[in-house]
Amino acid sequence: MVANLPKIELHLHHEGAAPPAFIRQLAQEKRIDLSRIFKPDGGYAYRDFAHFLSVYEAACQVLTGPEEFRRLTLAVLEESAANGVVYSETFLSPDFCGGGDVGVWREYLHAIREAADEAERTHGIILRGIVTCIRHFGPDKARPAAVCAAETAGDWIVGFGMGGDESVGRQGDYAWAFDCAREAGLRLTTHAGEFGGPDSVRQAVHDLGVERLGHGVRAIEDPGLVAELAQRGTVLEVCPGSNVVLGLYPDFAAHPIARLREAGVKVTVSTDDPPFFHTTMRREYQMLNRAFGWDEDDFAALNATALDAAFCDEDTRARVK
């Protein structure tokens, strides 16, 4: 059963992994009316990608302190571990953890780290953090986010990235933030080739110098770019279930992950924001098995690629089982 294999997940948004019941509970505790973001069945309600981003931000309104992030981290890692994830890199945003103030950011990180240590003891799952700026908040917000990243680089903060609305500006507008993070020793990834086309992927690789891409799947629209990604060894953090729910592709069978892999591009599999997209790592594996016949050997190879591309140090890599 492919779904039971141990898994490496490289692309998971910390807040986006918050179970809706958890956010609803916090909203009740804080007497904040968030009923508009929930469907009658309890799941998150949104119409399209732009609306998804605004519901996401609304949910973050109740994550107002380190204690909330401690609880969130425990909930997220328990769910990941239940899905067989043994190593996870999650995106953490200073914009949602203190608004870019380094001192407050450290307090959030301390709480998240304590929860991660507890989850590692209880479930064996290892967490590493990728600090992320949010593209539609603009370059002026990305700079303090990068400073937060640089100030806390090392140990378990291993990377810097960018999520958010890829249609805003150009990747290169954020070069200062990425340079700052790189100089602090952080490894780099950015969302590209999700809602942006091949040009956005080229900008990410050439103007930001990232070694991994969040999604990257729309590179398939340009065979020359696919060849370049394969030749460079750029790793794609592919989230097929997310892409299907957000309407990029009608179903798993139409998703380009298999074609990218056949063309020699390094692909890995993640969930992005699992409760928003009604998915889990087990489900992603099951759906890929059904769509493309991928078996245990295929997933073992995918996980080897992911472990190799993980931003952690060698000692940590050696501990991942």
Under rule CB under 6 A, residue 9 binds ligand ADE = no
Order the strands of the 235-238 sheet from edge to edge.
Answer: 7-13, 85-92, 126-134, 157-163, 187-192, 212-215, 235-238, 266-269
- Given 24, 128, 187, 191, the residue binding ligand ADE (CB under 6 A): 191
Q: Which is nearer to ligand ADE, 277 or 294 (CB)?
A: 277
Residue number closest to ligand ADE, CB atom: 163
Q: According to CB under 6 A, which residues from 197 to 236 bind ligand ADE?
A: none
- Given 164, 193, 196, 274, the residue binding ligand ADE (CB under 6 A): 164
Sequence-ordered alpha helix ranges (H) in 124-275: 139-151, 175-183, 198-203, 223-232, 240-245, 257-262
Distance CA 291, CA 252 (A): 6
Distance CA 14, CA 89 (A): 9
3-state percent helix, strand, coil for the chain, nearest multiple of 5: 55, 15, 30
Distance CA 116, CA 96 (A): 18
- Of 210, 276, 268, the residue nearest 239 (C-alpha): 268
Token readout for 50 is 């732009």
Nearest distance from C-beta of residue 162 to Zn ion, angstroms: 10
Token readout for 104 is 């407050």
Q: According to CB under 6 A, which residues from 15 to 54 bind ligand ADE?
A: 16
DSSP 47: S
- Given 15, 89, 272, 284, the residue binding Zn ion (CB under 5 A): 272
Under rule CB under 6 A, residue 95 binds ligand ADE = no
Convert residues 227-256 into a mask of x (bound to Zn ion by CB under 5 A) and - (unbound): ------------------------------
Q: Which 3 state secondary structure label does DSSP give 111? A: helix
Nearest distance from C-beta of residue 132 to Zn ion, angstroms: 9
Q: Which is nearer to ligand ADE, 124 or 138 (CB)?
A: 138
Q: Which is nearer to ligand ADE, 2 or 277 (CB)?
A: 277
Under rule CB under 6 A, residue 273 binds ligand ADE = yes
Q: Which of 89, 194, 237, 284 is catalytic?
A: 194
Active site residue 284: no
With CB cut-offs between 5 and 8 Å by kind, which of ligand ADE, Zn ion, none does residue 16 bind?
ligand ADE
- Given 219, 272, 287, 302, the residue binding ligand ADE (CB under 6 A): 272
- Given 73, 203, 242, 279, the residue binding ligand ADE (CB under 6 A): 242
Q: Which is nearer to ligand ADE, 68 or 273 (CB)?
A: 273
- Of 1, 88, 9, 83, the residue nearest 289 (C-alpha): 1
Distance CA 21, CA 204 (A): 36
Q: Are 108 and 64 in contact (CB under 8 A)?
A: no
Distance CA 235, CA 225 (A): 13
Using CB under 5 A, list all residues that contact Zn ion. 214, 272
Residues with a catalytic annotation lie at: 194
Using CB under 6 A, list all residues that contact ligand ADE. 13, 16, 56, 163-164, 191, 194, 242, 272-273
